[in-house]
């Protein structure tokens, strides 16, 4: 069963997992993060990318991707195709409190983001989880990249993104594309992050970020601790 975002329970969601095997998916999913001139850096035909974009914007089939995390948590990447536009939401759910979902980012008119700092995203790549979903670290990195927006991305991030692109079919010489993809979504760009030891959470200074306050601060202490364990690596 495909899990839909709360509020879209009756929407035409479909499992997006099969799309990850199609090389043109990544150029389509990341289309907002790079200039048109870089599309061929993915090693795919631009015409095929246009075809994939049409599939992602299909009003009759909204792809949803699940990234399983420890403790029963999941990050869902949820395409929403309304009458006027298609947006993509990134949010955390748990089967015991899915109505209190935590939005990380969203590309609708409210432009919510960034929702992840690099330290969190890097920690999520190999995080174990239960059930079906996206488990490959390269696919996880590229799938969550639009939710990233961090002014303090280390040099190793370029290498990791480049390796992920190559693993998905891009030419070896795609470092320029990798650097471009790490600049942040144009809706919110990159922003400074800091780890608050008292709140046990990463805090973002971005104007549109939902992380300006501690993630899950409204949750009971036990759920907040579980959320921290699954998502937030220790601050340095």
- The range of the structural domain enclosing residue 120 comes to 13-231
Q: What's the confidence (pLDDT) of residue 236?
A: 43
Residue 58 within a domain: yes
Residue 5 pLDDT greater than 70, yes or no: no
What confidence tier does 233 reach under pLDDT thresholds 50, 70, 90? low
Query: For the chain, what percent of residues have pLDDT higher than 70?
Result: 92
Question: Mean pLDDT throughout 148-156?
Answer: 97
Residue 8 within a domain: no
Cα 71 from chain centre:
19
Residue 134 within a domain: yes
Kindly tell me the sign of the dihedral angle through the C-alpha atoms of 70, 19, 30, 104: negative
Higher pLDDT, 200 or 9: 200
Q: What three-state secondary structure class fits 87?
A: strand
Residue 21 within a domain: yes
Q: What's the confidence (pLDDT) of residue 219?
A: 84
What confidence tier does 3 reach under pLDDT thresholds 50, 70, 90? low
Least confident of 23-37, 51-65, 91-105: 91-105
Residue 57 within a domain: yes
What confidence tier does 220 reach under pLDDT thresholds 50, 70, 90? confident
**What would the pLDDT profile of 156-201 be if each residue is shown by its tens digit?**
999 999 999 999 999 999 999 999 999 999 999 999 999 998 888 8
Cβ atoms of 206 and 226 closer than 8 Å = no
Least confident of 2-16, 45-59, 145-159, 196-210: 2-16
The chain-wide mean pLDDT, for the chain, equals: 90
Backbone Cα Rg of the chain:
17
Residue 203 pLDDT greater than 80, yes or no: yes
Higher pLDDT, 4 or 51: 51
Q: How many residues does the chain have?
A: 236
Q: Biggest alpha carbon distance in the chain?
A: 51
125, 101, 142, 118: which is closest to 227 by C-alpha? 101
Distance between CA atoms of residues 3 and 66, nearest Å: 8
Distance between CA atoms of residues 113 and 191, nearest Å: 10
What confidence tier does 98 reach under pLDDT thresholds 50, 70, 90? low
Residue 66 pLDDT greater than 80, yes or no: yes
Q: What's the confidence (pLDDT) of residue 1?
A: 41
Q: Are strands 62-68 and 74-81 parallel, antiparallel or unpaired?
A: antiparallel
Question: Mean pLDDT throughout 30-43?
Answer: 94
Residue 82 pLDDT greater than 90, yes or no: no
Paired tokens of 34: 């790079």
Residue 2 within a domain: no
* In the chain, alpha helices (H): 24-29, 46-56, 118-124, 137-144, 155-167, 175-181, 221-231
Distance between CA atoms of residues 123 and 209, nearest Å: 20
Residue 6 within a domain: no
Crossing angle for the helix pair 137-144 and 155-167, to the nearest 10 degrees: 110
Residue 204 within a domain: yes
Paired tokens of 219: 């949750």
Cβ atoms of 193 and 117 closer than 8 Å = yes
What confidence tier does 231 reach under pLDDT thresholds 50, 70, 90? confident
Q: Domain total for the chain?
A: 1
Least confident of 6-10, 126-130, 167-171, 191-195: 6-10
């Amino acid at each position: 069963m495909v899990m839909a975002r709360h509020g879209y329970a009756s929407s035409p969601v479909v499992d997006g997992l099969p799309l990850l095997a199609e090389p043109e998916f990544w150029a389509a999913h990341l289309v907002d993060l790079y200039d048109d001139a870089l599309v061929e850096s993915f090693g795919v035909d631009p015409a095929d990318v246009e075809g994939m974009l049409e599939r992602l914007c299909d009003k009759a089939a909204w792809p949803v991707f699940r990234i399983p995390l420890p403790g029963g948590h999941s990050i869902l990447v949820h395409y929403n195709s309304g009458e006027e536009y298609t947006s993509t939401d990134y949010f955390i759910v748990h089967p015991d409190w899915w109505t209190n979902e935590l939005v990380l980012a969203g590309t609708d008119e409210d432009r919510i983001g960034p929702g992840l700092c690099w330290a969190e995203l890097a920690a999520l790549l190999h995080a174990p989880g239960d059930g079906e979903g996206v488990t490959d670290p390269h696919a996880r990195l590229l799938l969550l990249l639009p939710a990233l927006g961090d002014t303090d991305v280390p040099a190793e991030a370029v290498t990791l993104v480049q390796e992920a692109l190559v693993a998905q079919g891009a030419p070896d010489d795609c470092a320029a594309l990798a650097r471009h993809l790490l600049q942040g979504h144009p809706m919110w760009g990159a922003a400074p992050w800091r780890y608050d030891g008292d709140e046990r959470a990463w805090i973002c200074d971005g104007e549109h970020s939902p992380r300006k306050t501690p993630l899950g601060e409204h949750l009971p202490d036990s759920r907040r601790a579980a959320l921290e364990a699954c998502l937030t690596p220790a601050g340095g």
